[in-house]
A and B are shown apart, each in its own frame.
Chain A
Amino acid sequence: MQKDPEGFEKKILHKFVDFSNKRVLEIGCGEGRLTWKYAGAPNLTVGFDPDQDALRIARADSPYNLREHVHFAQASASHIPFSKETFDIAILAWSL
């Protein structure tokens, strides 16, 4: 199975948001399928998901050059373990 081989999701996401040098929070990142479509641009990306197995895959798939900028954690949006006004962008990734 292939998902979005045309890359429509990536194109529209970048049309809606300029990720350059931003701090990004992704809620419901899962295995990081969406994360890798933008994570090269922000200064920091934090992906949350309650599914530990999915996060394990996301970490394993992390491109070497992005490992310092992209972090994954097991959590949900009901309690985000960051202080106020930390992020420039939050993405609800198929998760609302």
Chain B
Amino acid sequence: MVHALDEIRRTLKTNGTLIDLRPVESNWLVEISSSAGYQLAGRLNDMPVGLADDEAAFKAMREVKSRGWYIKEKEEEFAFFYYWDMPSEMKEFMETEWEDFEKMDESVYRTAQSLWSQANADAQVRVRVKMLITKWKRA
């Protein structure tokens, strides 16, 4: 990662901008959303691979900052939502696409099913992903 950040630095103009935009593990929330509002069904479980990826990314940025290659200018967290029409679609997606990063307990899935079935007809299930955006200046 540090080598890649050095290569990016090479191609950036002096005082150019590096944007680091990525999700970070934090037991993302499973929610049922409808025109009436939203309800919490539970939290996902972070997996070791995802946590290790996050730590490696933060470590790399600390390293390039300490080398004076980049200067942190601004950072913010925000929510990024994935929506599915029904809980079974969410479950299938997680088991195929997120299997190394997030796991959903059966109890959370059952709660989501129950809330979804009792909610308004327009209800969807969603996962609230924690996102981090950081603006760096190339030194």
Q: Is the CB of B11 within 8 A of A25?
A: yes
Quick check: B4 and A89 within 8 Å, CB to CB?
no
Q: Are B82 and A88 in contact (CB under 8 A)?
A: no
**Neighbouring A residues of B76 by C-beta, 8 Å:** 12, 16
Whether B106 sits at the interface, judged by CB under 8 Å, is: no
- What's the tally of chain B residues with a CB closer than 8 Å to chain A? 36
Which A residue's beta carbon lies closest to that of B85?
A: A1
Contacts of B16 in A (CB 8 A): 85, 87-90
- The segment out of A51-59, A61-69, A76-84 that lies at the interface is A76-84
Interface size class of A (residues with CB under 8 A): 35 or more
In the complex, are the beta carbons of B21 and A94 less than 8 A apart?
yes
Minimum CB–CB distance for B104 against chain A, Å: 15
Q: How far is the CB of A84 from chain B (nearest CB, A)?
A: 5
Contact at A80–B20, with CB atoms within 8 Å?
A: no
A77 to B8, CA, bound (A): 7
Nearest residue, chain B, Cβ from A46? B11
Answer yes or no: B52 CB below 8 A from chain A CBs.
Answer: no
Cα of A16 to Cα of B110 in the assembled complex, Å: 39
A4, B80: Cβ atoms closer than 8 Å: yes
Q: Are the CB atoms of A90 and B80 closer together than 8 Å?
A: no
Chain B residues near A93: list those with CB within 8 A. 21
